Homo-oligomer: A and B are copies of this chain.
Amino acid sequence: MQTTLNVKGMTCGHCESAVKGALEEIKGVSKVKVHLDSGKVDVKYKEGKVSLEDMREAIEDQGYDVES
């Protein structure tokens, strides 16, 4: 499965690393690509193993907002 999240507040490479790292730590997430300029984050994941809510929480824990 693949989804694209809209994340607000990422401004620099550190932000990119924080979001990418938090998502990659989730079991079931296999690939993360952050587009800093647009705020879009592409995530490849195993359906049933991880929910969009898990991803949202991981990102918000880093201090960023996810647009629904």
Contact = CB atoms under 8 A, between A and B. Distances in A.
Most B CB within 10 A of own CB, among A13, A14, A15, A18: A14
Nearest to A9: B12
A15 B15 CA distance: 9
Count the copies: 2
Contacts of A13: 63
A20 to B, nearest CB: 13
A64 to B, nearest CB: 10
6 contacts: A9-B12, A11-B11, A11-B12, A12-B12, A12-B15, A13-B63
A9 to B, nearest CB: 8
A18 B18 CA distance: 13
